Amino acid sequence: MPQAALALTEDRRRSTGESHQALHALLSGDDQALTIPAACHPEQAQLEAAVFLACCKIGGLSEHPLGIVQVHPGEEQLTLRLLDEPYVVHHWAEFLLPRLTDEESDHPQDCVAGVAGLRYRREGGGIMLHRPGMPARILLTGFNPRWWERIAERLNTNYGLLQSERDWTPTERAAYTAAVRSPFEPPSLLSPLLRRIRATAGIGPFNGTDAWNSVGGSFRLETTDGPPCPELTRLLGDGPTGLGWRIDHKSCTCLCDHSHSGLGCTIDFLEPTTGQFVYYSNLKWGRTHSDRRRQTITELNRLAFA
């Protein structure tokens, strides 16, 4: 396998988990590194942003951030291969599938738990997530689709999901409209991050990635055991598949090119097209496998269908 071709797919492979064999056919032959396409529809980017924020609640119980083993980023569809564990599928279904909260609030987004307007169907050997009437699709693969259906049936019994609605409910539509108008959930940041989620994983056995909005329209990105700072700044910054994020300030304990301070690492990124800051922290928990963690996962898998 020519080393030159491997180099052209290296950063995309690191960011998405795709194989060189799968990517080789996409090389253009002009010796340019293979890039990561952006979502071609605003609705696709909106859906990816909403899914990303919802699934950040999962935490980090495996080496795969958000339980995502591999990302295949297409312009019109995103395919995510999840870890083949029932507890991961349960977390995704529970955090994503919409239901009414019965909460009285002036903020429409508080009235819907999960992703407003999200519906699913079995397709292509996986579970297709979509929104009625919109060109937005995310295909979940890597597990038995029947797991998702069983879990959704139980969640519907417990919570009363909105999946029986063929169209949007008025409450969901209001929540979606509020999200689109809000500066705090920018698809321009979150959709590209989901398409590069593997870039936030370190080499350890546990990787958690979280993101949330902060004061003044800025955004926070946090990893429990992320990669070395030089690698992250290449993959999200000025690397061939990066986002062009600029470093405004950095302080870390990696053995790299800048001063050490504290136990973790922090980087303040500036997204140049919007002027928004992304404040990144790598907590460096350094977690390891233990019998207790294995027992926890075994119990979570047992409870996934309960």
- pLDDT tens track for 162-206: 998 889 999 999 999 999 998 778 899 999 999 999 999 999 999
pTM, entire model: 0.94
Q: How far is CA 78 from CA 64, 113, 118, in A?
A: 17, 23, 15
Q: Which string of DSSP letters, residue by residue, matches 176-220? A: HHHHHH-TTS-HHHHHHHHTTGGGG--SSS---EEEEE-GGG-EE
The mean pLDDT value for 293-305 works out to: 94
The DSSP H or E segment spanning 12 is helix 3-16
Q: If you count them, how many residues does the chain have?
A: 306
Q: What is the mean pLDDT of residues 233-251?
A: 92
The answer to whether residues 87 and 59 touch, using CB atoms and an 8 Å cutoff, is no
Instruction: Report, as an integer, the average pLDDT of 85-113.
Output: 94
Confidence of residue 216 (pLDDT cuts 50, 70, 90): low
In this prediction, residue 124 carries a pLDDT of 85
Asked if residue 249 has pLDDT above 90, the reply is yes
173 against 57, higher pLDDT: 173
Split at pLDDT 50, 70, 90, the class of 256 is: low
What span, in angstroms and rounded, lies between the C-alpha atoms of 138 and 43?
Answer: 12
Residues of the chain with pLDDT > 90, as a percent, come to: 75
Count Cα neighbours of 29 within 13 Å in the Cβ-side half-sphere.
Answer: 1
